[in-house]
Amino acid sequence: MSPMPHPPPILIDADKLSFFESLAEGLETRFPDLADRFLEELSRAEIRPAGKMPADVVDLGRQVTYVDETTGREQTITLVRPEEADITSGRAAVNTPVGIALLGLRKGASFNWQARDGRDHQLKILAVN
């Protein structure tokens, strides 16, 4: 799979930015690579005022359906705070690899994502509710 030249743009709600930064900093001791990735994503984000986030942007509490274009597998999850996570119920924490990858993306965005097994996948967001 060829790498994407630039990652897709992301939007972050200004009222949630400090919460996300705290979550990223909390990862630094046990998962430094994941913390770095989260902070890198936040640093490149366009920060939007509260109430100005488009409805098609992945954010806390929103349900997102995406397809793994590598395998054809579709999945729907809701992005949640860590204490609300339960992947068996489709609730993924925002500070997990997939949560970090999806946060702030808009419907239609495609991006490369590396799974825990080290394999690369091309994901595309189909819907955000």
Written as one string, the DSSP assignment of 21-84 is: HHHHHHHTTT-HHHHHHHHHHHHHPEEE-TT---TTB--TT-EEEEEETTT--EEEEEEE-GGG
Residue 121 DSSP SS3: strand
Q: Rounded to 5 degrees, what angle do the CA atoms 95, 98, 103 make?
A: 70
pLDDT above 80 (res 8): yes
Residue 95 DSSP SS3: coil
Domain residues for 57? 11-128
User: Residues 51-63: pLDDT tens digits?
Assistant: 899 999 999 999 9
Count structural domains, the chain. Answer: 1
User: Residues 62-101: pLDDT tens digits?
Assistant: 999 999 998 999 999 999 999 999 999 999 999 999 999 9
Per-residue pLDDT averaged across 119-127, rounded?
93
15 located within any domain: yes
- Per-residue confidence at 118, pLDDT binned at 50, 70, 90? confident
Write down the pLDDT at residue 17: 97
- Per-residue confidence at 1, pLDDT binned at 50, 70, 90? very low
What is the rounded radius of gyration, in angstroms, for the C-alpha atoms of the chain?
14
pLDDT above 70 (res 5): no
6 located within any domain: no
- Per-residue confidence at 2, pLDDT binned at 50, 70, 90? very low
DSSP 86: B
1 located within any domain: no
2 located within any domain: no
32 located within any domain: yes
- Per-residue confidence at 120, pLDDT binned at 50, 70, 90? confident
For residues 57 and 64, the answer to whether their CB atoms sit within 8 Å is no
5 located within any domain: no
Q: Which CATH number characterizes residue 22's domain?
A: 3.10.50.30
75 located within any domain: yes
d(CA 120, CA 78): 22
